[in-house]
């Protein structure tokens, strides 16, 4: 016995006798000899819990996390304050350790939690149907394209704005190698989607148009106006949104979107170096039978009690197999629960107030930073919680200098947007105080100046 | 199993209220920090037509009520920390709490994914070490941690196959998989743009080799298998199957759902597999979370490596004596590209790496050995008495980590179906096995105890089955109308599907 | 419908579908008692489009229960001239009255001679009873 198992020598003897073999080697005899490993794995021997803790702590210590550096990084994942009750509840055995609710009679906790999550996301996006979650934002975009192709009777074109997160566009390109979409990108103008270019790109062969608002650069898009092109040609309008802004920004369901989806991490989930989080996926009533993922539904039991079950399971892989709407099985249920708890904690008023706080702090930060020497706004378009700057010095060098002063200054745009090589994306959360913002403005200005001196 | 009083209490109206129904205007939990900055009206910052008129109707509840609501809700769940959960194919093994503790370390938990790799060396090293560990366990040298679940890994493997053939100027159309394969396999095949072709199973429970030989041709891109298979049986023809698919230039894909049977005993890479996905939430103890999160990293052979997703975690020797460094490599010209945002489910990697460190080489081999011992013991117990008579094993040979029974005699002779047996088990305080899968076996019950169960736990389960079947001999209606002691009884799934109600209506 | 029933005035396909000929050129199709009994309670039926061409022995629609999906096989070839819209809101008619209110489509036949290959009620009943 090494860890977590209980089979004592006596247990083993009794079990082997009951099975009718001499040793466990007899049970492994079904593996042909040449395929037996025949040696220990080339891994270290097992360690005590204390030693494992030390190892993991040592690794953690070599990461510049948000307690060590003031974090202005965003790009889809944000350093929000997650209330303590989220962990207290999601760490409960009853939520942490079961699997998917295949036996609803003993899974009412999980199923009702899904139902509440679906209700919350439907409210946020103003679309009537939500699933119980997908993996994260970018793969949800790809999954929506799969739905659109399946629903559009032969259309193969997907039009996507360059305002959509680069990871989403890249993931869409990867998945398209499989399901055969032809993806066309439409550029930005003044920080937002070029409306004329979009109108030119959409035609009668377009299955879906993808927008993001606020877009990757932080600018708020006029989804309703842009969506006209999709409507005109009978294409689905699919909008990726930052859920934390939906307390104050007009929701996609009120702007003509057929599907609203996105990265759920800001709701209730840690940064965790990028995962696990969840993707949300909401749509119109007509699309319910084409939606991917689990969906919880309300019903009654044999005695007339209210209860919840997984519904519309014939969409899913365990029944529909090769004709399923998606291949997803294990999703991100615990992360969706975390989101629901966070939203309940914020509540109707708190969620709106938080949105207002984000917008105002962001406006302040944008003004302060743009006033720093060597800094300009990349565009003037309105923003909610994130914005892009142009720097007069190499962005990577500036980031290093800011890091030395304890600040993670933001996301360099150059790799994914070569046209904005000197661009920096700055994100604001409610944890970024006025003092931190003021300090950042000073540090950023100093860093750029130092770089300009070094270069001259 | 609940007492009558507990059940009575659990059905009181307030307990079945959603959090929305507990809402009362004016209540709230969150106290937000003060703005500290100027607070102009929002429409001075953002055009009014882009603003929301009414906030979403989230509930208005204070913190004590939120906690009470979700605590009570949690008690309406059966879970692995509470009882035996022999869900075949899911590997419901114990979830160590050490793993939760290390995952919560701020250096891991509060690290932004876009942090400069120079300042995330601990995270990248952890990922690299996990990659190396999985490579050793799978017997394949190159690993990507990106996929978020087994299905995601399957899709990745099929897209890798597609890229592999495209690189050779080929475009193949078909993928072969046994009729016993998990539903995700054919679903992934369709998403990857291939046509699924089913291969039959023989009377020993392995792939029907004549059928396979007839179907392997140069239109076949890939053969998807799991070994042991979903019947819990190791297919000894694997070497020949590998030779067949490789001879026509196809790839051999391993669904890692059953890896728990062979860790440290045999390696998919040595069996001839080109691409393997590993379910970290199965063999590597990541908690199942009620339906995720998990992760589905893939291990691949040398010839598949160039196509791995981007970015890839790499280790670079410094050459100047300052030790290796770790990085995210985006320069991968033949990569299939990204499968998702950022690097993958890092929090899951932390837990699984802690598990691998805890068990080590010796512990991992002991885990698989004990998993196989436990399964065979339970199978032997269930071969006795009424279980042996009414729910015989589908294939009468030693199993590996799981086995499948058929409820066909039970249905014929006692008039109760596998579904009824499963529902009656709920009253005895057990999670039922997986039911009606694989499709090949009529009235199937797939049982996977895992290595973390005691012998007493297995005996209790076998005793419960015996008791239920004894009861069914004279009172079959008891099982047909079970369960009785759970928070709700059987639910009207027809109603839920005909007129789906998938959210709370709010006035 | 509780008890097995296979009306004599219909023709049957071995994939558990029936055809009622109406005149020389038209027929109505549906699924048999055996089909609906195997499927369980029908929750959803997605009809094909009017005007669609359907081919003998091929699937032209799907019928869903909570836990299964069944292909509906065309007993004969033709062009769909009418679909049973009632089933959108009341798919359970397929269970309750598979030969009456539960009819699926009406077609204009393109090869009426295909009726020869279909089974009579007695033959079909023997087929399902012998499994």
Asked if residues A340 and A113 have their Cβ atoms less than 8 Å apart, the reply is yes
Percent of chain A with pLDDT over 70: 100
pLDDT of residue A456: 80
Best probe of the B interface among A330, A410, A431, by most B CBs < 10 A, is A330
Structure tokens given for A455: 């270069």
Q: Which two tokens stand for residue B171?
A: 């475009």
Cα separation, B222 vs B197, in Å, equals 10
> A276: cis peptide before it, omega within 30°?
yes
Q: State whether residue B494 sits within 8 Å of chain C by CB.
A: yes
Tell me the nearest-neighbour CA distance from A41 into chain C, angstroms. Answer: 43
Instruction: Determine the structural domain holding residue C23 and report its residue range.
Output: 11-129
Tell me the nearest-neighbour CA distance from C76 into chain B, angstroms. Answer: 27
Q: Which of residues 322-341 of A touch B (CB under 8 A)?
A: 322-324, 326-335, 337, 340-341
Residues of B in contact with C64 (CB under 8 A): 497
At which of A290, A312, A341 does a domain end? A341
Query: A290 and A425, same structural domain?
Result: no
Q: What is the CATH number of the domain that holds A172?
A: 3.40.640.10
Beta carbons of B164 and B251 less than 8 angstroms apart: yes
Boundary (domain end) residue, out of A309, A341, A373: A341
H or E element, residue A172: helix A166-179
CATH of the structural domain B139-355, one choice from 1.10.3720.10, 3.40.50.800, 3.50.50.60, 3.40.640.10:
3.40.640.10
Two tokens, residue A288: 């319910």
Question: Which positions in chain C touch A323 (Cβ < 8 Å)?
Answer: 69
Residue A147 is predicted with a pLDDT of 96
Query: C41 and chain B: CB distance < 8 Å anywhere?
Result: yes
Pairing between β-strand A306-310 and β-strand B312-316 as defined by DSSP bridges: unpaired
Distance from CA of C64 to the nearest CA of A (A): 7
In this complex, which of A2, A7, A308 lies closest to B362 when CB atoms are compared? A2
Domain interval for residue A289: 84-341
C44: chain A residues, CB-CB within 8 Å: 289, 314
- Which residues does A contribute to its contact with C (CB < 8 Å)? 289, 313-314, 319-320, 323
Helix, strand or coil for residue A442?
helix
Neighbours of chain B (3+ CB pairs under 8 A): A, C
Q: Measured on CA atoms in the order A377, A379, A384, A385, is the torsion positive or negative?
A: negative
Q: Are A151 and A258 found together in one domain?
A: yes
Are A108 and A236 in the same domain? yes
What are the φ and ψ backbone dihedral angles of C30, each rounded to 5 degrees? -165, -175
When divided into structural domains, chain A yields a total of 2
Distinct helix (H) and strand (E) counts, chain A: 14, 17
Q: Please report the beta strands in A234-380, taking only residues with DSSP state E, as ranges in sequence order.
A: 236-241, 259-263, 279-283, 296-300, 306-310, 375-377
- Whether C16 is covered by a domain: the verdict is yes
Task: Report yes or no on A18 lying in a domain.
Answer: no
Contact list in B for residue C43 (CB cut-off 8 A) is: 494, 497-498
In a domain, A266, yes or no: yes
* Whole-angstrom distance, CA of residue A148 vs CA of residue B23: 37
Q: Is C108 helix (H, G, I), strand (E, B) or coil?
A: strand
Q: Say which residue the tokens 């989080």 belong to.
A: A277
Q: Please say if the pLDDT value at position A27 is more than 60.
A: yes
User: Would you state the structure tokens that stand for residue A355, as one six-digit string?
Assistant: 């949105």
Query: Measured between CB atoms, does C86 come within 8 Å of chain B?
Result: no
Run means of pLDDT, 10 residues per run, chain B, 507 residues: 59 74 96 96 97 97 97 96 96 98 98 98 98 98 98 97 97 96 93 96 95 97 97 96 98 97 98 98 97 97 98 92 93 97 98 98 97 98 97 96 98 97 97 94 97 98 98 97 95 93 93
Which chain C positions have a beta carbon within 8 Å of B498's beta carbon? 43-44, 91-92
Beta pairing class for A157-161 and A182-186: parallel
* One domain for residues A231 and A359: no
Which of C64, C66, C91 faces B493 most closely, judged by CB atoms? Answer: C66
Give residue-wise pLDDT tens across range A175-187: 999 989 999 999 9
Tens of pLDDT, residue by residue over C2-59, are 788 899 999 999 999 999 999 989 999 999 999 999 899 999 998 899 999 999 999 9
Provide the pLDDT for residue C3: 84
CATH 3.40.640.10 positions along chain B are 139-355
| CATH classification of the domain holding C62 | 2.40.50.100
Rounded CA-CA distance B358/B384 in Å is: 37
CB-based contacts of C113: which residues, under 8 Å, 6+ apart? none
Count CA within 13 A, CB hemisphere, residue A116: 30
CB B200 within 8 A of CB B373: no
pLDDT value at position B11?
55
The beta strand positions in B147-186, using DSSP E, are 174-178
Q: Helix, strand, coil proportions of chain C in percent (round to 5)?
A: 25, 35, 40
CA distance B423 to B44: 60
**Chain A residues in contact with C68 (beta carbon < 8 A):** 314, 319
Are the C-beta atoms of B66 and B19 separated by less than 8 Å? Answer: yes
In a domain, C2, yes or no: no
A299-325 per-position pLDDT tens digit: 999 999 999 999 999 889 888 889 898
Q: Which of B287, B424, A108, A112 minimizes the C-alpha distance to B432?
A: B424
For B77, which of A35, A95, A170 is closest by C-beta distance? A95
Say if A106 falls within a structural domain. yes
In terms of phi and psi (left: phi > 0; alpha: psi -120 to 50; beta: otherwise), the region of A21 is: beta
Question: B362, A333: Cβ pair inside 8 Å?
Answer: no
Say whether residue B501 is in contact with chain C using an 8 A CB cutoff.
no
* Same domain (yes/no): A168, A275: yes
CB A164 within 8 A of CB A214: no
How far, in whole angstroms, is CA B395 from its chain's centroid?
25
Q: How far is C60 from chain B (nearest CA, A)?
A: 20
Compare all CA atoms of chain A with the CA of C46 and give the residue at the minimum distance.
A289
Answer yes or no: is C3 within a domain: no
Return the HEC string of C35-98.
HHHHHCCEEEEECCCCCCEECCCCEEEEEEECCCEEEEECCCCEEEEEECCHHHHCCCHHHHCC
What H or E segment, with its residue span, contains residue B196? Answer: strand B195-199
- Residue A66 distance to chain C (closest CA, Å): 47
A431: exposed, middle or buried (C-beta count within 10 Å: 0-12, 13-18, 19+)?
Answer: middle
Q: Looking at residue C129, what is its pLDDT? A: 85
- Determine the length of chain B: 507
Q: Which residue has the tokens 């259309």?
A: A155
Supply the CATH number for residue A435's domain.
Answer: 3.90.1150.10
Same domain (yes/no): A368, A327: no
The shortest C-alpha distance from B474 to chain A (Å) reads 23
d(CA A157, CA A207): 6
Subunits with at least 3 CB pairs below 8 A relative to chain C?
A: A, B
Nearest chain C residue to B500 by CA: give it.
C43
Q: Are residues A326 and A353 in the same domain?
A: no
Residue A63 lies in a domain: no
- Would residue A281 count as lying in a domain? yes
The residues, any chain, with a CB within 8 Å of residue A89's CB and separated by 6 or more, are A95, A337, A341, B67, B70, B71, B74
- pLDDT score of C67: 84
For residue A53, is it within any domain? no
C44 contacts chain B (CB < 8 A): yes
Contact call for C66 and A314, based on CB within 8 A: yes
Cross-strand bridge partners of residue A396: none
- Residue of C65, C66, C69 lying closest to A320 (CB–CB): C69
Identify whether C5 is part of a domain. Answer: no
Q: Which of C36, C41, C42 to mutate to test the interface with B (most CBs of B within 10 A)?
A: C41
Could B497 and C44 be called an inter-chain contact, meaning their C-beta atoms sit closer than 8 Å?
yes
User: Which of B444, B496, B498, B500 to substitute to test the interface with C, most C CBs within 10 Å?
Assistant: B498
CA distance A342 to chain B (A): 9
Cα A49 to the chain's mean position, in Å? 32
In chain B, residues with a C-beta closer than 8 Å to the C-beta of C44 are 497-498
Tens digits of per-residue pLDDT, C67-118? 888 899 999 999 999 999 999 889 999 999 999 999 999 999 999 999 999 9
With beta carbons under 8 A apart, name residues in chain B contacting A102.
87, 434
Structure tokens belonging to residue B385: 């008495």
pLDDT bracket for residue A455 (50, 70, 90): confident
Distance from CA of C69 to the nearest CA of A (A): 7
User: Are A316 and A381 members of one domain?
Assistant: no
Q: Is residue A209 part of a domain?
A: yes
**Alpha carbon of C117: minimum distance to chain A alpha carbons (Å):** 30
* Cβ–Cβ below 8 Å for A109 and B76: yes
Judged by DSSP in three states, B120 sits in: strand
Cβ-based contacts of C65 with chain B (< 8 Å):
494
Is the pLDDT at C63 greater than 60? The verdict is yes
Is B279 buried (19+), middle (13-18) or exposed (0-12) by CB count in 10 A? Answer: buried
CB contact under 8 A, A313 and C68: no
C4 located within any domain:
no
Structure tokens at B235: 């297919």
β partners of residue B120: A63
Give chain C's length.
Answer: 131
Please check whether residue C88 touches B, CB under 8 A. no
For residues A343-358, one letter each, b for 16 or more C-beta atoms within 10 angstroms of the residue's C-beta and e for the rest, the string is bbbbbbbbbbbbbbbb
B-chain residues near C91 (CB < 8 A) = 498
- CA geometry: angle B88, B89, B91, nearest 5 deg: 85
Q: What is the end-to-end Cα distance of chain C in Å, rounded?
A: 20
CA distance A348 to chain B (A): 4
The answer to whether the Cα torsion of A116, A119, A123, A127 is positive or negative is positive
Last residue of a domain, one of A323, A341, A359: A341
Do A332 and A373 have their domain in common?
Answer: no
The answer to whether A73 contacts chain B (CB < 8 Å) is yes
């Amino acid at each position: 016995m090494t860890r977590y198992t209980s089979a004592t020598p006596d247990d083993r003897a009794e079990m082997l006798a009951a099975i009718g073999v001499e040793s466990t080697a007899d049970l492994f005899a079904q593996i042909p000899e040449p395929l037996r490993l025949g040696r220990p794995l080339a891994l270290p021997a097992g360690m005590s819990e204390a030693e494992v803790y030390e190892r993991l702590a040592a690794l953690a210590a070599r990461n510049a996390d948000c307690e060590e550096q003031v974090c202005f990084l965003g790009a889809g994942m944000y350093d929000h304050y997650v209330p303590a009750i989220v962990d207290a509840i999601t760490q409960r055995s009853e939520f942490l350790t079961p699997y998917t609710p295949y036996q609803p009679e003993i899974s009412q906790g999980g199923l009702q939690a899904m139902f509440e999550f679906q209700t919350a996301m439907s409210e946020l996006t103003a679309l009537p149907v939500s699933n119980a979650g997908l993996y994260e934002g970018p793969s949800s975009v790809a999954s929506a394209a799969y739905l659109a192709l399946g629903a559009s009777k032969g259309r193969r074109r997907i039009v996507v704005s360059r305002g959509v997160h680069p990871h989403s566009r890249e993931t869409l390109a990867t998945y398209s190698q499989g399901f055969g979409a032809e993806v066309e990108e439409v550029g930005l103008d003044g920080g937002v989607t070029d409306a004329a270019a979009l109108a030119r790109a959409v035609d009668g062969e377009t299955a879906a148009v993808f927008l993001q608002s606020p877009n990757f650069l932080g600018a708020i898009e006029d989804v309703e106006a842009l969506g006209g092109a999709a409507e005109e040609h009978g294409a689905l309008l699919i909008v990726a949104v930052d859920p934390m802004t939906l307390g104050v920004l007009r929701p996609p369901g009120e702007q003509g979107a057929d599907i609203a989806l996105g990265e759920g991490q800001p709701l209730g989930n840690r940064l965790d170096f990028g995962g696990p989080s969840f993707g949300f996926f909401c749509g119109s009533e007509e699309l319910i039978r084409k939606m991917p993922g689990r969906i919880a539904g309300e019903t009654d039991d044999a005695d007339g009690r209210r209860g919840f079950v997984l519904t519309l399971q014939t969409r899913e892989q365990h029944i529909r197999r090769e004709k399923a709407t998606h291949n997803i099985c294990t999703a991100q249920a615990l992360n969706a629960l975390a989101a629901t708890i966070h939203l309940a904690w914020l509540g109707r008023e708190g969620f709106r107030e938080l949105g207002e706080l984000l917008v105002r702090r962001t406006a302040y930060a944008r003004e302060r930073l743009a006033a720093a020497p060597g800094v300009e706004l990349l565009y003037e378009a309105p923003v909610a919680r994130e914005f892009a700057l142009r720097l007069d010095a190499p962005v990577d060098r500036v980031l290093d200098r800011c890091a030395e002063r304890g600040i993670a200054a933001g996301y360099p745009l150059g790799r994914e947007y070569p046209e904005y090589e000197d661009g920096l994306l700055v994100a604001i959360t409610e944890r970024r105080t006025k003092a931190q913002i003021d300090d950042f403005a000073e540090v950023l200005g100093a860093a750029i100046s130092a770089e300009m001196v070094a270069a001259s | 199993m609940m007492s009558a009083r507990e059940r009575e209490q659990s059905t009181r109206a307030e307990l079945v209220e959603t959090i929305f129904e507990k809402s009362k205007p004016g209540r709230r939990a969150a106290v937000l920090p003060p703005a500290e900055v100027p607070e102009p009206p929002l429409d001075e910052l953002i055009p009014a037509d882009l603003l929301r008129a009414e906030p979403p109707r989230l509930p208005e509840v204070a913190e004590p009520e939120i906690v009470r609501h979700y605590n009570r809700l949690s008690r309406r769940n059966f879970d692995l920390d509470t009882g035996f959960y022999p869900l075949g194919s899911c590997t419901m093994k114990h979830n160590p709490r050490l793993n939760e503790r290390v995952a919560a370390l701020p250096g891991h938990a509060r690290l932004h994914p876009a942090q400069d790799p120079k300042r995330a060396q601990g995270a990248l090293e952890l990922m690299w070490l996990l990659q190396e560990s999985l490579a050793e366990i799978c017997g394949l040298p190159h690993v990507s941690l990106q996929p978020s679940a087994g299905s995601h890994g399957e899709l990745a493997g099929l897209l890798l196959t597609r890229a592999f053939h495209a690189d050779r100027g080929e475009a193949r159309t078909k993928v072969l998989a046994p009729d016993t394969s998990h539903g995700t396999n054919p679903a992934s095949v369709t998403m990857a743009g291939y046509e699924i072709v089913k291969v039959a199973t023989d009377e020993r429970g392995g792939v029907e080799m004549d059928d396979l030989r007839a179907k392997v041709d140069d239109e076949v891109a890939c053969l998807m298998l799991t070994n042991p298979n979903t019947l819990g049986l190791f297919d000894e023809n694997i070497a020949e199957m590998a030779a067949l698919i490789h001879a026509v230039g196809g790839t051999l894909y391993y669904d890692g759902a059953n890896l728990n049977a062979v860790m440290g005993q045999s390696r998919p890479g040595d069996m001839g597999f080109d691409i393997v996905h590993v379910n970290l939430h199965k063999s590597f103890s990541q908690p199942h979370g009620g339906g995720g999160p998990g992760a589905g990293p893939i291990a691949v052979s040398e010839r598949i490596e160039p196509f791995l997703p981007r970015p890839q975690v790499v280790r670079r020797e410094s050459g100047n004596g300052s030790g290796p460094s770790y990085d995210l490599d985006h320069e991968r010209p033949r990569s299939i590209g990204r499968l998702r945002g950022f690097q993958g489910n890092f929090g899951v990697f932390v837990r699984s790496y802690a598990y691998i460190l805890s068990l080590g080489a010796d512990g991992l081999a002991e885990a698989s050995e004990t998993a196989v011992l436990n399964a065979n013991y339970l199978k032997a117990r269930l071969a006795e008495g009424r279980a042996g008579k009414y729910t015989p094993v589908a294939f009468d040979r030693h199993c590996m980590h799981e086995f499948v029974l058929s409820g066909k005699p039970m249905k014929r002779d006692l008039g109760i179906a596998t579904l009824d047996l499963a529902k009656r088990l709920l009253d005895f305080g057990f999670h039922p096995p997986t039911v009606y899968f694989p499709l090949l076996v009529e009235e199937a019950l797939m049982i996977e105890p895992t290595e973390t169960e005691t012998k007493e736990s297995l005996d209790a389960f076998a005793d419960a089955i015996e008791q239920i079947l004894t009861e069914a001999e004279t009172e079959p209606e008891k099982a047909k109308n079970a369960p009785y002691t759970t928070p709700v009884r059987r639910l009207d799934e027809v109603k839920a599907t005909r007129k789906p109600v998938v959210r709370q209506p709010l006035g | 419908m509780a008890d097995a029933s296979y009306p004599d005035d219909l023709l049957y396909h071995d994939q558990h579908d029936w055809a009622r000929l109406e005149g020389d050129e038209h027929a109505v199709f549906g699924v048999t008692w055996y089909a609906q009994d195997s499927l369980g309670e029908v929750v959803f039926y997605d009809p094909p489009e009017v005007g669609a061409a359907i081919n003998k022995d091929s699937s032209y629609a799907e019928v869903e229960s909570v836990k299964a999906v069944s292909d509906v096989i065309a007993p004969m070839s033709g062009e769909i001239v009418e679909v049973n819209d009632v089933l959108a809101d009341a798919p359970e008619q397929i269970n309750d009255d598979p030969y009456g209110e539960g009819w699926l489509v009406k077609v204009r036949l393109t090869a009426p001679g295909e009726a020869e290959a279909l089974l009579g009620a007695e033959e079909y009943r023997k087929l399902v009873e012998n499994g």
